[in-house]
C-alpha cells in the first residue's frame, strides 16, 4: 500500500424521524465536498436518528433497496467517492442498526451493529448483528466499519495482524461521554496501528449534545482531521506509505494475542 486516501466525515445535525430533511441536508453539504475525496463517512442512523418508539421505528425502517441506500448510491456514483454510515434497516420482522459501505461502482457491503447500548432500550428494540465487522478493500486500503457502542469493546474491534488499515466508527455519541469517545478512538488507533475515523453526528436531541466531536486519527493516535474554510466536512489525507513504514518499524501486530471471536 503506497497510496494516499482522502477521507471526509460530515457531522450532520440529524432531525429525528424526518428522513427527507436529513437526506436533503447531506445532499446540500455535498456541494462543498472537498475535491478528491475518496470516502465520505456519515453518522450513525444519519437519515432518521434514534428513537425508542417502536411504531416509529417500524414506519421508518427500510430494506437495503429503500430510499436511504438508493440516495447513497446516487451520491457515490456522482462524486466518485465511497460512502459509509448506518441506517435504520428491517429484515422482517427484525429492526437493525445497519452499517453500510457503498462504492461508486454500486458495490455494497453491510454490517449490523453487534453491541446494543444496554443503558437504553436499544437491545429491546433492535436485533444484534452476529457477523464480525466488515472489512472491504477500496483504493488500496483495507477498511473496517463498526457502529457506536461497538467501539468500547477492543476484542471486537481487533485488527488481526493488520487485516485492516482504517477503521470507520459511525456514532451518535453525546458530549456527556465525550472524554471516553475521544480516548477510545485514540486507543483503537494505537493498539491496532490503524487510522480511525470517529464520525459523530452534530446538533442535539433528547439524548444529548453532539457538536465538535468528530475526529480523524492516524495510526499513532494523532489527530489529523481539519475542517477546511467554508466547509461542513472534517477532512484528512491519510498516507499509506507512512502507515506501512510505521508498521514495519514497530511490528506490534505480530505479538498480539490471537483470541477467536465467538
Positions annotated as catalytic residues are 44, 113, 148
Q: If we measure between CA atoms, which residue out of 187, 199, 194 comes closest to residue 167?
A: 194
Rounded to 5 degrees, φ, ψ at 175 are -60, -25
DSSP, residue by residue, 144-184: EEEEGGGGG-TTTT--SSS--SEEEEEE---GGGHHHHHHH
Half-sphere exposure of residue 215, counting CA atoms within 13 Å on the CB side? 22
What Cα–Cα distance (Å) separates residue 235 from each residue in 43, 60, 186, 198, 229?
15, 30, 17, 12, 11
- The residues with which 223 forms a beta bridge, in sequence order, are 217
Pairwise CA distance, residues 41 & 50, whole Å:
18
Residues 6+ apart with CB under 8 A from 53: none
Amino acid at each position: 500500500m503506497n497510496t494516499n486516501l482522502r477521507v471526509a466525515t460530515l457531522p450532520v445535525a440529524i432531525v429525528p424521524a424526518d428522513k427527507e430533511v436529513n437526506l436533503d441536508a447531506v445532499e446540500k453539504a455535498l456541494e462543498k465536498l472537498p475535491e478528491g475525496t475518496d470516502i465520505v463517512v456519515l453518522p450513525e442512523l444519519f437519515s432518521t436518528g434514534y428513537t425508542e418508539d417502536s411504531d416509529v421505528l417500524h414506519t421508518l425502517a427500510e430494506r437495503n433497496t429503500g430510499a436511504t441506500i438508493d440516495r447513497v448510491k446516487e451520491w457515490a456514483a456522482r462524486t466518485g467517492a465511497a460512502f459509509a454510515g448506518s441506517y435504520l434497516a428491517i429484515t422482517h420482522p427484525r429492526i437493525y442498526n445497519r452499517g453500510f459501505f457503498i462504492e461508486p461502482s454500486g458495490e455494497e457491503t453491510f454490517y449490523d451493529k453487534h453491541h446494543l447500548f444496554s443503558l437504553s432500550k436499544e437491545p429491546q428494540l433492535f436485533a444484534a448483528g452476529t457477523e464480525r465487522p466488515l472489512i472491504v478493500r477500496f483504493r488500496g486500503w483495507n477498511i473496517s466499519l463498526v457502529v457506536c457502542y461497538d467501539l468500547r469493546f477492543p476484542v471486537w474491534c481487533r485488527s488481526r495482524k493488520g487485516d485492516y488499515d482504517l477503521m470507520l466508527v459511525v456514532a451518535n455519541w453525546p458530549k456527556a461521554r465525550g472524554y471516553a469517545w475521544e480516548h477510545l478512538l485514540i486507543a483503537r488507533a494505537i493498539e491496532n496501528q490503524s487510522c480511525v475515523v470517529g464520525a459523530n453526528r452534530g446538533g442535539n436531541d433528547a439524548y444529548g449534545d453532539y457538536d465538535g466531536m468528530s475526529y480523524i486519527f492516524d495510526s499513532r493516535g494523532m489527530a489529523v482531521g481539519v475542517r477546511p474554510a467554508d466547509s461542513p466536512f472534517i477532512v484528512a489525507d491519510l498516507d499509506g506509505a507512512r502507515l506501512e513504514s510505521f508498521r514495519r518499524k514497530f511490528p506490534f501486530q505480530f505479538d498480539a494475542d490471537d483470541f477467536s471471536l465467538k
